[in-house]
Structure 1
């Protein structure tokens, strides 16, 4: 009797099984971090305001976290070189957890500001170490899919977090701070328990890290930097600060519609992450980065035009544009990360920290610059400048060489 041929598994299942366990663990950690951060969103400005401070000082509390991430990121690669990603990542989680709990106990504005700043230091440690580990442990032909899975953890956690935060905020204004601390404590324990063991990390410390000078001469790395800065400017800055204004003042809708539009766009972005991650690995980094820059750039320019539609459907037109933006953002969260992994070849170091810093820099400058432009010229030019930055990322990506990572069985 002939032996039946083995059943061929679907390609998506094969590729997922090809990902190292650390990628799944990092995705779970990302989910915990994003849930905790989302829990804080509804209450942090209100809690800061409870100390009877100005709106400017409330803004200082919000921006101090990102500012400290930006300032301290360059110091993380030497720590990784000495102690390994696993230890630095877990320690960073514990620092953010402790600072969050302390912020919930703050009795003055300045204590709250200090604790948020300390949390930014821990966040820098986590971000750079997690990306270094992700890019080191994944083969080149799987980096897009690994980045998609990791980004998916953040997206899902980001969608769940604000809803959970609203529930705990009804109990106490400070309760979300302790929920955030608990989720980060859990993430730190997961990191130290399930990520690569110290023996493996000892091998990493013997491998010289790549210098920024080595990476910056590579056109692929420069394109990734420009793209990440533009993404930070528009996605983490301008979109979050000006779309709510557009909905209320331009479309004359209640603020709740902003949440609905963002939620629909987030679901759309999450849905395409898997296919986009596969395309980054199979179609190539260059075409996906160009697609990302063009789609997000055009979407950013089109967003304020929805206010010119004198119809009840205008909010859904804006939602559709945000979904287009989400498609490009899915590629932005995967392709540039895979490019940095290709450039550094798993060596880590300053190039990864600098790549992370570009997003933080854009997120800090973007809302301030866009707000000033909107005050002087209107919402249209404010969105258009962000769109131009995203399109410039696409232009830089066009200069990248045409290549595609090759799986071992294809060699």
Structure 2
């Protein structure tokens, strides 16, 4: 029965569903920490806002440093083993963070979790791109992203409830959800993708060729711009915009983010189909333009209702920029290839780390609304770079049959 498991109403291979379930577990666990991590850090006393931010940034910073080593690690251990080990490292880090007795211990434990996060992120995307032919990569990326989106919506609510038990309960819950995800990956994922399974997917291309490919270049820039805006500027400036400029309570920020997340989740599967049937190039061009309009409208919103509508528009563009670039990387790299995926992932991390800092500096010097401007310009550049991509839809092979049990 397990060997014939399929996504409902689709012809996607089983690995896509398994990876989406793992993404959901990871996102739920990560989300439960959002309400409590800053408060827990401050509970050690004499902890400034900068020190709180350092705890949050340490995870992403260490993940960025670790990413270049993940490609060789995947070649050594295989993507499934790398993914599983990475998840268990983050689980151990989360549990250790819950036992932290000082601020320094919390900072170190959170930072070490970034090692496992890099291993999971790169290996999961490598497995995903290798699990399907080129004609399905957009839909597969959409399914995978939907797991993160749904988990990300549920996580903060669960974290709020767990915080009533104790400030450390969410850390242990996160460790448990990650352990579940690791076991799921170890038991249900195949050890390799189409190439290893003998189904004739295109072989990986040499790295220098990939780096020169306009598809890969456009995808990396799109990931950088999306990280800068979605995980950076939008998250750091919008809460301030809502309270100080629009004069609303902080709860309205949660409402705006929740509504836009629902819109993105609902549309992510149709977006994936568009990427596969119409093409990566028009998806990146359109996604960049829609996201540019959306984030600009967020900055210029005269009231909370326009801001919520603008956030929904941006969600459409961000969803496209979270799907089409991954498919383009798979096309450029020839299916599954750890190092190009690691480079692609690093662009998002760099954008997420630098975006809030530069956006904050611009906001301090010129104003909150102006803090969004550079990010909007980067999204517009995404559309311009996508014009260099080849037109058309990749001519891939049909989806493979699941391999026999002895091939697993």
1:365 aligns with 2:354: yes
Deviation at 1:202, TM superposition (A): 6.7
Deviation at 1:282, TM superposition (A): 0.4
Separation in 2 of the partners of 1:208 and 1:117?
35
1:377 aligns with 2:366: yes
1:251 aligns with 2:240: no
Deviation at 1:198, TM superposition (A): 7.2
Show the counterpart of 2:122.
128
Show the counterpart of 2:44.
51
Show the counterpart of 1:10.
none
Show the counterpart of 1:23.
16
Larger Rg: 1
Question: What secondary structure is seen at the aligned counterpart in 2 of 1:17?
Answer: coil
Separation in 2 of the partners of 1:283 and 1:162?
36
Change (3 A) 1:210 1:64: farther
Q: Deviations over 1:311-344 (max 9, x none)?
A: xxx2111000000000111111110000000011
Separation in 2 of the partners of 1:406 and 1:16?
23
Question: What secondary structure is seen at the aligned counterpart in 1 of 2:91?
Answer: helix
Contact 2:267 2:316 (C-alpha < 8 Å) held by counterparts: yes
Show the counterpart of 1:214.
209
Show the counterpart of 1:90.
84
Alignment of 1:164-175 (within 5 A): 164-175=158-169
How does the TM-score come out when normalised to structure 1? 0.91
Alignment of 1:331-370 (within 5 A): 331-370=320-359
Change (3 A) 1:201 1:392: closer
Question: What secondary structure is seen at the aligned counterpart in 1 of 2:163?
Answer: helix
Separation in 2 of the partners of 1:387 and 1:131?
27
Aligned pair count reads: 390
The more displaced of 145-154 and 377-386 is 377-386
Separation in 1 of the partners of 2:89 and 2:209?
32
Deviation at 1:407, TM superposition (A): 5.3
Contact 2:123 2:338 (C-alpha < 8 Å) held by counterparts: no
Alignment of 1:53-92 (within 5 A): 53-92=47-86
Change (3 A) 1:379 1:211: farther
Question: What secondary structure is seen at the aligned counterpart in 1 of 2:337?
Answer: coil
Deviation at 1:56, TM superposition (A): 1.3
Separation in 1 of the partners of 2:272 and 2:250?
33
Separation in 2 of the partners of 1:201 and 1:90?
20
Which ranges of structure 1 fall in alignment gaps of 5 or more residues?
Answer: 1-12
1:399 aligns with 2:394: no
Q: Deviations over 1:4-58 (max 9, x none)?
A: xxxxxxxxx9995321100000000000000000000010111111112121111
Separation in 2 of the partners of 1:199 and 1:143?
13
Q: Deviations over 1:372-406 (max 9, x none)?
A: 11000112221111100011011101111112023
Separation in 2 of the partners of 1:54 and 1:267?
34
